[in-house]
Amino acid sequence: MDRVREGYCDVANPYRADQVSRVSLRAEDVDVIVFVTRNAGPLLPYLAELDERGLRYYFQYTLTGYSRQLEANTPSVSDALETLHHLVKHIGPERLIWRYDPILFTTLTPPVYHVEQFARLAESLRGLTRRVTVSIMDDYRWVTARLKKLAKEGITRLEIDEELGMVMRSLAAITQSHEMEIFSCAEPIDLSPYGIAPGKCIDDVYLRRTFGIDVTRRKDPSQRKACGCVVSKDIGAYNTCRHGCVYCYATRSIR
């Protein structure tokens, strides 16, 4: 909020700290702000101010409800749902996108776990959102190292090639029964045969439908090949999150 009030933020290149770019946060320069978070609680008191400043925004909100062995410091499901109720009361369900990702298959979270957990969460989120995004966990060497540590505690990864279709078809059916649409995120595997179309977190079609604005349709060249997001400015920073998720690609150390 300090940066919003100042009207700009400075963003360092994550690979070249000496390269810093300035990004305007003035309403006349911003199409929309996308908040990607697991906890909007601290921002709730400032939503009215964002509105008064003429800023459009929506939320990509992660809620998986994994055990503390996988997500050490995330809000509990009950706390997250309480926050989401307050949030949706202010912005409406169209501006909240639920993220059930990444999907991590382990002996603690086997395929049947995800079907059941997703169903429970979808039921709790009925009426709070119209859209859900899913993805399968990507491998990064620091994530692999954390998972090896978990293996010593008896929690090992599962290869589920034969069961993947069952899981994805189930998730698609669950979302349909709860009046939600489902998309994948930067997923190199084609999930469309299971009813899950490739999605965009920064989606020109969604922005036009939700806010009535036209933005570029050009894919962001700085993102991964499988990412469909249109050109945008990422003002987040790596290695700043304290939620301690073992599968997190954006934080190398979770201690």
Please tell me the predicted confidence (pLDDT) of residue 108: 97
Start and end residues for every CATH 3.20.20 domain found in the chain: 31-211
State the pLDDT at residue 255: 61
Give the CB-side neighbour count of residue 158, counting CA atoms within 13 A.
Answer: 18
d(CA 249, CA 213): 32
Reported as a single tens digit per residue, the pLDDT across 9-53 is 999 998 898 999 999 999 999 999 999 999 999 999 999 999 999
What pLDDT, in 10s, does the model give residues 169-198?
A: 999 999 999 999 999 999 999 999 999 999
3-state per-residue secondary structure call for 104-168:
CCECCCCHHHHHHHHHHHHHHCECCECEEEEEECCCCHHHHHHHHHHHCCCCCECCCCCCHHHHH
Q: Which fold has domain 31-211?
A: TIM Barrel (3.20.20)
3-state secondary structure of 52: helix
Q: State both tokens at 51.
A: 């509105």
Which pLDDT score, from 0 to 100, does residue 107 have?
97
Phi, psi (degrees; rounded to nearest 5) at 26 = -75, 140
pLDDT tens digits, residue range 110-141?
Answer: 999 999 999 999 999 999 999 999 999 998 99
CA distance 136 to 18: 34
Is the distance from CB of 11 to CB of 24 less than 8 angstroms?
no
Q: Does pLDDT of 66 surpass 90?
A: yes
pLDDT at 254: 73
**Structure confidence at residue 253 as a pLDDT band (50, 70, 90):** confident
Read off the pLDDT of residues 80-109 as tens digits, 9 standing for 90 and up.
Answer: 999 999 999 999 999 999 999 999 999 999
Q: How high is the pLDDT of residue 243?
A: 94
Crossing angle, helix 111-124 and helix 77-91, to 10 degrees? Answer: 40
